[in-house]
Amino acid sequence: MISRPVAATLGCCGCRGAILRAVASRPLAGIGQSASRGIRPVASSGLRSFPPSQQYGTVAQKDAEAKPGIEQRKDEDEIEIEDEILDSDEPADSPWFLDVEPPRHAPLQHIASLPKVPEDAPYLLEPMMKYIYEDMGLDELSMLDLRDLDPPAALGPNLIMIFGTARSERHLHISAGRFVRWLRRNHQVGARADGLIGPGELKTKLRRLRKKAKMLGSNTMILPGSDNGISTGWVCVNFTAHNSGAQEASSYDESGRFSGFGTPLTGTTVVVQCMTESRRNELDLETLWRGILKRNLEEMQKVKGKVALNPSELESLVTSKIQMPDSPSAHQWQALKLASQQQRHFSTMARRLQARTQSITEDQSDSPSFDLSALRRHIHDFQVAGTAVSRETLQSLISAVFRAEVTEENTASERLALVDQLNLVAEERGLPIMSKDWLITLIESIVMSPAYGPELQRAQKNVEFLLSTKQKSALKTSEVLRLMAAYAHRSDWEKFWDAFRSPARFQLPRSPELYEFAYRVMAATGDRKLCTDALRWVYPEMLKEEPKIWPVGSMYVSLKACILVADPAAEGLLHHPPPQDSLDLFGQRQLVHREFLRVLREVENLRHHHAGEQAREQRAQTLRKLSGQMPSN
């Protein structure tokens, strides 16, 4: 019987599982004994595990009796082979899936070759090249020998530059960090890695970006193509390799005079440019340094007074100092780059676009109607080619877009989209699109557009709001006149007079040009009510201006035209009044107090008074000239 403690133990599921695992994990006695005797099953032959005498003896005898000759010799050979297998101490045959031979790949068509180390280079350059290619895993290695630059580059004297391409951003930083540690550990060289982001720094930057994204209420932490301080794509490892350190000492010039203290430029500056493929193609530093080396060699030939090298010799000399990668992908990339440079060099698209833009600017004053589809194509080509344009040209294009002929319905959205593109181009080129002049151009173009409607009206209100927020100082007279002309074109008299009042908000006097334009516009409408209302408040304010504004010249013509629209009989009654006998007392009083007749009479008196003052001033100047008392200025 099972005791109670044992029964309690077996009642527990965990205890039962532990006992079963202990029993199952212990090897069986038969298996251990057979292993100790050296008897192993032969899996490959398919025979059972019996001793050799029992396994093969009887079978061999029966086969020998039944099949003498060749078959008997065959069975004896198989018995000998099986006996050798069973008597050997080697382990059992490996499973079938381990008997497969390793795959054999075809040899590579291209064997990568490392750039050759130039003469008189530091000793560590050759093992460093192998480490960069084999351990760091950088591809497309190139080497630039810039030690002949005079004066030396800002990176350091005796410059040797190496370029390599990393497979990803993570590969770039990990391999650059290991390279710096390898230099310090194996060659005792303290290298500096600009642009390298270590693990601790990366965590800090990510934490800051998460905090910033949380404050902005955005889930996107890193935007593609943004300057976030993490996606650099470029690590520059630089160090100076020299055999012995140089101490600071006094220096003397060629004449033997003391010139100061300093450290002589010794050693070789090694710069390893580690980049991702996209950043390397974007910067194309090899082409940049190639051009610098070529120009420097040409200048050195002139300074030394030697015969200038012909282009082929100069190109071969530059090529000997610049070793580019020789892989097929690198050759293809260089061919594509050369083709793009040639296309860019010989293209005349920018000139044609600039000429077309200039023609649009010149034709705007003569013919304000343009084809919207042609303008759309022109703006697209203009953006692609990056044509150099001025501020005035962009403003002319904006006016042309809004004033284009209406060939289709509902083109307001398309016009606004094209103007947004032009505003973006202006902002990218550093032009102030929030200035008063730019906003007034937008208002002027929108109001005068033939496609004016609710959508353009909303855009006009938005631009007017921006102008009101930017209007911390008074507008210029020319700017006020532009706004008044635009609102007069749309017959928006409320905003017309609001623009006319804008100088008074800053306690500034209005110029005579503003009064003359207001009178002229009111007279051009031919509306008696508009002219009457304007004269009743504009004319008294003109008389109060300081300095005084006289009704002479174009001012007199516009004011008189406005008065005659308000009262067409005023001029006739002024110059040819009716006789007193023909009028009763009420008629005489009405003629004396006639509003615009009195205004016209006052205007004529002011004009004659100003003319008299001018005549007296001229006579006084003439007398001063005759008496010799004219001032020297």
Mean pLDDT (the chain, rounded): 76
Specify the pairing of strand 159-166 against strand 268-276.
parallel
3-class state of residue 63 by DSSP: helix
Per-residue confidence (pLDDT) for residue 155, from 0 to 100: 87
- For the chain, give every domain's residue range: 1-28, 38-91, 125-218+230-241+265-337, 347-472, 509-633
Residue pLDDT, tens place only, 69-113: 444 444 454 445 444 444 444 455 677 666 667 666 555 555 667
CA 206 vs CA 102, 167, 197, 203: distances in Å: 45, 22, 11, 5
CA pair distance 402, 453, nearest whole angstrom: 12
* Cα dihedral 322/328/330/331 (nearest 10): 70
Task: Assess contact for 73 and 61: CB atoms under 8 A.
Answer: no
Q: Which residues contact 205 (CB under 8 A, 6 or more apart)?
A: 197, 228, 229, 230
Mean pLDDT of 21-35: 52
DSSP 303-319: HTTPPPPPHHHHHHHHH
Q: How confident is the model at residue 161 (pLDDT cuts 50, 70, 90)?
A: very high
Phi-psi region of 399 (alpha: psi -120 to 50; beta: other; left: phi over 0): alpha
Q: Tell me which amino acid residue 118 is.
A: P
Phi-psi region of 386 (alpha: psi -120 to 50; beta: other; left: phi over 0): left
Structure-token pair, residue 206: 């990510």
Mean pLDDT of 245-256: 60
Specify the pairing of strand 234-241 against strand 249-252.
unpaired
Task: Assess contact for 172 and 137: CB atoms under 8 A.
Answer: no
Nearest CA to 239 out of 124, 120, 114, 324 is that of 124
CA pair distance 230, 414, nearest whole angstrom: 39
Count of beta carbons in the 10 Å neighbourhood of residue 339: 10
pLDDT at 338 over 60: no
Task: Assess contact for 523 and 560: CB atoms under 8 A.
Answer: no
CATH architecture of the domain 125-218+230-241+265-337 equals 2-Layer Sandwich (3.30)
Task: Assess contact for 280 and 288: CB atoms under 8 A.
Answer: no
Per-residue confidence (pLDDT) for residue 109, from 0 to 100: 53
Mean pLDDT of 332-348: 51
| % of the chain exceeding 90 in pLDDT | 24
pLDDT at 276 over 50: yes
Residue pLDDT, tens place only, 564-613: 999 998 888 888 878 776 666 666 676 777 888 888 989 999 988 888 88
